[in-house]
Structure 1
Amino acid sequence: MTTHTQPGQQNWIDELRSTLTSDFEMHTARLTELTADTGDPAEAHTRDALLAGTRQSLEQITGALRRIAEGRYGICERCAGPIPQERLEVLPHARFCVPCQQKQR
């Protein structure tokens, strides 16, 4: 299976993979910091919200990296059509094209 990329887009995919990998490392470090219990009950609610957001980001990044590795990046998971590069530049973890994303809501 191959991604819906045109010749010359491989450099873009390689750069994206590098950026996503860096983001993954940054969020992993942040998760480690957030899971260190400070013992301050006043921080618990804020920390829980930050943990949830960080975990969600890690999940999205991991999914995008997996799709790149499997050659499925840029392919809508619903209709199997191409996801425009412009959408992926704004939302690199996008799993659906815009019409299919709107149907998901």
Structure 2
Amino acid sequence: MDIDTAPSIDTLRQMLQAQLRQHSADLTVLTAAGTDPGSTGEDPQTITARTAAARHAVEETTAALARITAGVYGRCERCAGSIPGARLEILPHARFCVPCQARGR
């Protein structure tokens, strides 16, 4: 994706805000299901795993929104290089560029 077609920060912020609303709603439902596991038809371990994943998604999304506010969004946390717009469009909460992500944290 070239720079002219990269999503704007405002577009990415809106995507992240929508994701945060969805993850928060999912977490609310899963938390309630955790008190009554039979309500969803899922076993308690599945509910626990899905709840942990939703919490992690809320944390990652909130952190990305904080990076936007701080003016460091789109910069790799390891090498400080730019994270390509195409990567951010697919994974708006990305903290690392592809080479640094591949090397592991």
Question: After TM superposition, is the score higher than 0.5?
Answer: yes
Kept after mapping to 1: 8 A contact 2:76/2:95? yes
The TM-score with structure 2 as length reference comes to 0.82
Q: What is the rounded CA distance, in whole Å, between the counterparts of 1:45 and 1:63 in structure 2? A: 27
Q: Structure 1 residue 38 and structure 2 residue 36: aligned?
A: yes
CA 1:47–1:39 in structure 2 vs 1: closer, same or farther (change >3 Å)?
Answer: closer
Q: CA deviation at 1:39?
A: 5.0
Residue number in structure 1 paired with 2:21: 25
The TM-score with structure 1 as length reference comes to 0.82
Aligned length: 99
Q: What is the rounded CA distance, in whole Å, between the counterparts of 2:37 and 2:85 in structure 1? A: 45
Partner secondary structure for residue 65 of structure 1: helix
Q: What is the rounded CA distance, in whole Å, between the counterparts of 2:72 and 2:5 in structure 1? A: 17
5+ unaligned residues in a row in structure 2: which ranges?
none
Over aligned residue pairs, what C-alpha RMSD do you find?
A: 2.4
Q: What is the rounded CA distance, in whole Å, between the counterparts of 2:19 and 2:46 in structure 1? A: 22
Q: CA deviation at 1:43?
A: 2.7
Q: What is the rounded CA distance, in whole Å, between the counterparts of 1:14 and 1:7 in structure 2? A: 15
Residue number in structure 2 paired with 1:91: 91
Q: Percent identity?
A: 49
The structure 1 segments of at least 4 consecutive aligned residues displaced by more than 3 Å after TM superposition are 6-9
